[in-house]
Amino acid sequence: MNEQNPVPPQIPPVIPSILSSGVRQLGDDPLERVAIPNIIAVIEALLRHPRRMMFQLRQPGAGKLIAAMLFISIVCSLIYGVVVGTFSGGQQLWIAPVKIAAGLMISALICLPSLYIFTCLSGSHARLSEIFGLLAGMLMLTTMLLIGFAPVAWIFSQSTESLAWMGALHLIFWFIATIFGLRFLEAGFSQSNARSHAGFHTWVVIFLLVAVQMTTALRPILGTADTFFPTEKKFFLAHWGDCLNLHDSETKLKSRE
Amino acid sequence: MPAPSAKLKTHPAEIATLLRGETGTISMWSESWNARRFLLHVTVIIFGAGLYGAAMGWWRDPQQALYVAIKFPLIILLTTIGNSLINAMFAPLLGLDILFRQSFSAIVMSFTIAAAILGAFSPLLAFMIWNAPPISPQTISGSTYNLIKLINVVVIAFAGMTGNVRLFQLLVRLGGSRAVALRVLFAWLAGNLFLGSQLSWILRPFIGSPDLPVEFFRASALQGNFYENVFQSLQQIFNN
């Protein structure tokens, strides 16, 4: 009997290291370690390989990557703002982009400290710069998706005169885009050894409230006004209520005509 | 293994491959850009949907037939282009790692299938219209009008569903997972229906009304939107 075994000894498969929570560690995949050299690669990485982006945010020199993400976010929100401005035209063609870009950036900046605090309270070891990077990634993904919605928004803005309808449509588009942005942020949050997501979910509510209130604080974005900033302070629910009442009275007037 | 040049050759008979849903071949097509194939698909959309549109508009007037023959393919092409960017972004975000080119050609191919079916049904619709009494306020309120409307709905729904079933099979092949393919298909469908409905609203009329003149656009084409109108109709129903 031939004692030589023709079957080669079995080599145990390489199992990527798994965290105690069951989350695969960043950098296990060699693709995630590839540097992100330019803006096109940043867009590509965020859409196709978000883990590569998360890994790169932990590396020294991540500042450039964060700056690139913020730059793309600002450009995308300015472009979407022009589309929003086409509803009223005139001065709104520059006012709407400025207000949308500024509003998004200010909302993110206002919410950054609380995000960091909630992250720490959840047991995460993420540094402030990493959290800032993830937030910039969230903004970038949100605004890029808004650009995707822009042709649809433009068609609707050319075919309706209703402020309430266009406002609702833009809010829906922003909400869908933000869900994807928040998914990226949560995926990054999951990689930071956080024990619980309760703090993160609380922060999401805070961020959404701040962002919608920002649209009221910077109004009008869709419509027109004599002044750049509103002269009256309002809570967003009161503002939406006023818009809907105005819409109802316009509809009644039209049906009488 | 076939030579690369053989892969790039196109032939009108390829439409049969699309209709059969040979996902192996179709997924290979989506991997590389072929201008001739793209042109073939766009031609099928223009002629298929155009012929069906012509049959639909013919009942009102030959001029209406010409207008609808232009408008029908226009809706399909504008919907594809208008949503191309968001559809391409949704695919990787929902777990299907495909390129812009792949998502765009997949959607164009699904519309090609639908347009080929519509084109095939256009002689049947034309025959039915030929047999129908001339359009008038009386026929509008009668059963003929409702029957023609119903047949249009059935044919368009069949063409749309078949196109989407084939699209789903292709997405499964590209992504390897039914759950991911379903997510992506649902997102694409929602976006295309949303924009397509509004474009149809802007480009109305299709069958045409006997009381109104034959025209490409209604004077009120850009006044109000499809969803606003549906909402107002619902409000009226519930207020009465």
ipTM greater than 0.90: no
Q: pLDDT, tens digit, for every residue of A112-143? A: 999 998 888 888 888 889 999 999 999 999 99
CA distance A197 to A193: 11
Chain A: nearest CA to B228, how far in angstroms?
7
Touching check for B233 and chain A: CB below 8 Å? no
Q: A143 with A77: CB under 8 angstroms?
A: yes
pLDDT in tens, A16-54: 444 445 557 777 788 888 888 888 999 999 999 999 999
User: Chain A contact for B191, CB < 8 A?
Assistant: yes
What would the mean pLDDT of A60-87 be, rounded to a whole number? 94
A158 and chain B in contact, CB less than 8 A: yes
Residue B80 has pLDDT above 80, yes or no: yes
**pLDDT at residue A158 tops 50:** yes
CB contact under 8 A, B225 and A165: yes
Rounded to 5°, the CA angle A47-A48-A52 comes to 100
Question: So what's the pLDDT on residue A16?
Answer: 45
pLDDT in the model for residue A14: 43
Please give the mean pLDDT across all residues of chain A. Answer: 86
Express each pLDDT in B225-234 by its tens digit. 888 878 877 7
- Contact status of A120 with chain B (Cβ, < 8 Å): no
Closest alpha carbon to B113 in B181, B51, B165, B54: B165
pLDDT digits (tens, 9 = 90+) for A196-225: 888 899 999 999 999 999 999 998 898 888
pLDDT tier for residue B185 given thresholds of 50, 70 and 90: very high
Q: Which amino acid is at B150?
A: L
Q: Cβ separation of B228 and A165 shorter than 8 Å? A: yes
Q: Give yes or no for a contact between B129 and B152, defined as CB atoms under 8 angstroms apart.
A: no
Residue of A nearest to B82 (CA): A151
CB neighbour list of residue B58: distance below 8 Å, 6 or more residues apart: B64, B65, B126, B129
pLDDT at residue A15 above 60? no
Listed in sequence order, the DSSP H helices in A122-234 are 128-158, 163-190, 198-217
Res. A3 pLDDT band, cuts 50 70 90: very low
Domain range annotation of chain B: 4-239
User: Best of A155, A162, A169 to disrupt the B interface by mutation (most B CBs within 10 Å)?
Assistant: A155
Q: Is the pLDDT of residue A69 over 70?
A: yes
Contact B227 A165 (CB under 8 A): yes
In angstroms, the CA B66 to CA A161 distance is: 30
Q: Which of A71-75, A110-114, B171-175 has the highest mean pLDDT?
A: A71-75
Q: Which residues of A touch B227 (CB under 8 A)?
A: 165
Asked if A144 contacts A42 with a C-beta cutoff of 8 angstroms, the reply is no
By the CB < 8 Å criterion, does B86 face chain A? yes
Residue B239: per-residue pLDDT:
73
**Tokens representing B41?**
């698909």
Q: Looking at the predicted structure, is the pLDDT value of residue B120 above 80?
A: yes
Is residue A122 within 8 Å of residue A196, measured between CB atoms?
A: yes
What pLDDT, on the 0 to 100 scale, is given for residue A12?
A: 46
* Coil, helix or strand at residue A244: helix
Q: Is the pLDDT of residue A4 over 70?
A: no
A159, B85: Cβ pair inside 8 Å?
A: no
Q: Which of B78, B84, B86 to mutate to test the interface with A (most CBs of A within 10 A)?
A: B86
What percent of chain B is predicted at pLDDT more than 90? 57
What B192-198 contacts at long range (C-beta under 8 Å, 24+ apart), as own/partner pairs, is: B192/B79, B192/B80, B192/B83, B192/B87, B192/B107, B194/A152, B195/A151, B195/A152, B195/A155, B195/B78, B195/B79, B195/B82, B195/B83, B196/B75, B196/B79, B197/B226, B197/B227, B198/A152, B198/A155, B198/A156, B198/A159, B198/B225, B198/B226, B198/B227
pLDDT for B46-73, tens place per residue? Answer: 999 999 999 999 999 999 999 999 999 9
The label of the residue with tokens 């006997």 reads: B210
Which residues 223-252 on chain A approach chain B with CB closer than 8 angstroms?
251
Q: Do A147 and B85 touch (CB under 8 A)?
A: yes
Name the percent of chain B lying above pLDDT 70.
95
On average, the pLDDT of chain B sits at 88
Peptide bond into A37 cis (omega under 30): no
In Å, how far is A1's CA from the nearest CA of chain B? 43
Helices vs strands, H then E, count in chain B: 11, 0
Identify residue A111 by its one-letter amino acid code. Answer: C
Name the minimum distance, in Å, from the CA of B134 to any CA of chain A. Answer: 33
Q: Which of B60, B205, B54 is nearest to B121 (CA)?
A: B54
Strand partners, B60: none
Q: Are A47 and A212 in contact, with CB atoms under 8 Å apart?
A: no
Nearest CA in chain A to B222: A159
Cβ-Cβ contacts under 8 Å, A145 against chain B: 86, 89
Q: Which amino acid is at B179?
A: A
Whole-number Å distance between alpha carbons of B26 and B16: 11
* Domain layout of chain A by residue ranges: 30-252
pLDDT tens digits for A237-257? Answer: 888 888 888 777 776 666 665
